[in-house]
Amino acid sequence: MAIFRPEDEERIRERFDALDRPVELVVALGPEETPLPGHADVDFGAETVRIVDELCSLSDRVTYRVEHDAPGLERFPAVLICPEGEDVGLRYDGLPWGHELGSLVGAVLEAGRAQSSLRPESLEALAELDRDLAIDVFVTPT
Amino acid sequence: MLLAYKTALASSRVRATAIESTEFPTLAAEMDVWAVPRIVVNGAPQWDGSVPEAVFLSRILSATFE
């Protein structure tokens, strides 16, 4: 089953083709936590690979590879969003489906930009950051 | 979520991870996730809900987690 409607697929394809720099997605697979009731019949790892494979089929500017038991990761499956193949700290833990598929597409579009789309004042504030921050955003697919 | 990703892309001191709550219920319970998005900084829950960019940056930069 296709993950995008045809009209959305064409729009995403155009935007991926226009990326300033290529983006690589790394799908990390490994032991998965027992999910909540109702999810037991979903193979989260295989489904993540399927979604990422379909996403990357839209444009040569977005590619992916699969890693097994990648060191440094605690939760699987995970998707690392790497501008020009470099891990700069963007990750999605879990299956990016439903509403969160849009977050993954948005992450690819932003990672593919040469210039940040944040406002200048935000960039100025970030330039003065003197500590490391790990931001975790808990989401649901609906 | 996108604001967190943009922030991480704009600063090498920031990392951003989306965590699908229903797939990782143990961690979600530890972080007391009842509403989404729930924003956690350096392991400390900060707030729930989407906010504008200026508010997001302000809250992230002033987050306390010691």
Q: In this predicted structure, what is the pLDDT of residue A101?
A: 92
Domains of chain A and CATH, by start:
6-127 (3.40.30.10)
pLDDT digits (tens, 9 = 90+) for A52-66: 999 999 999 999 999
Q: For residue A124, what are its two tokens?
A: 């100025």
Strands of B1-66 (E only): list them.
Answer: 14-20, 38-41, 44-48
State residue B61 phi and psi, 5-degree precision: -70, -25
Which residues have CB under 8 Å from A51's CB, separation 6+?
A3, A95, A96, A97, A101
Best B3, B9, B32, B59 residue to mutate vs chain A (most A CBs within 10 Å): B9
Min Cα separation A21/chain B (Å): 13
- On whether any CB of chain A is under 8 Å from the CB of B29, the answer is no
Tokens 């501008």 sit at which residue?
A83
**Could you tell me what percent of chain B has a pLDDT over 70?**
98
ipTM above 0.95, yes or no: yes
Cα(A117)–Cα(A115) distance, integer angstroms: 6
Min Cα separation A16/chain B (Å): 17
Q: Would you call B11 and A126 a contact, using CB atoms and an 8 Å cutoff?
A: yes
Residue (of B17, B40, B12, B59) closest to A132 by Cα position: B12
CB pairs under 8 A between A and B: 174
Q: In this predicted structure, what is the pLDDT of residue A1?
A: 67
Q: Are A81 and A75 in contact (CB under 8 A)?
A: no
Q: Are A111 and B9 in contact (CB under 8 A)?
A: yes
> Is the bond into A31 cis (omega within 30 degrees of 0)?
no
Q: Would you call B18 and A88 a contact, using CB atoms and an 8 Å cutoff?
A: no
Identify which of B4, B11, B19 has the shortest CB distance to residue A129. Answer: B11
Identify which of A118, A129, A141 has the shortest CB distance to residue B53. Answer: A118
Min Cα separation A34/chain B (Å): 8
**b/e B26-63 (16+ beta carbons within 10 angstroms → b):** ebbeebebeebbbbbbeeebbeeeeeebeebbeebbeb
* Helices (H), ranges, B1-52: 2-10, 25-30
The residue with greater pLDDT, A134 or B65, is: A134
Q: Would you call B18 and A111 a contact, using CB atoms and an 8 Å cutoff?
A: no
The enclosing H or E element of A110 equals helix A99-111
Domain B2-61: top CATH class = alpha beta
**pTM (whole model) above 0.80:** yes
Q: Which residues pair with A23 in a beta bridge?
A: A62, A83
Q: In this predicted structure, what is the pLDDT of residue B65?
A: 74
Q: In this predicted structure, what is the pLDDT of residue A98?
A: 86
Q: For residue B4, what are its two tokens?
A: 């967190």
Identify which of A90, A91, A94 has the shortest CB distance to residue B24. Answer: A94
pLDDT digits (tens, 9 = 90+) for A3-35: 888 888 999 999 999 999 999 999 999 998 866
Q: At residue A142, does pLDDT exceed 90?
A: no
Min Cα separation B26/chain A (Å): 9
Mean pLDDT lowest for which of A39-53, A61-75, A90-104?
Answer: A39-53
Q: In this predicted structure, what is the pLDDT of residue A141?
A: 77
Q: Are A76 and A30 in contact (CB under 8 A)?
A: yes
Q: In this predicted structure, what is the pLDDT of residue A105?
A: 96
- On whether any CB of chain A is under 8 Å from the CB of B51, the answer is no
Q: At residue A125, does pLDDT exceed 90?
A: yes
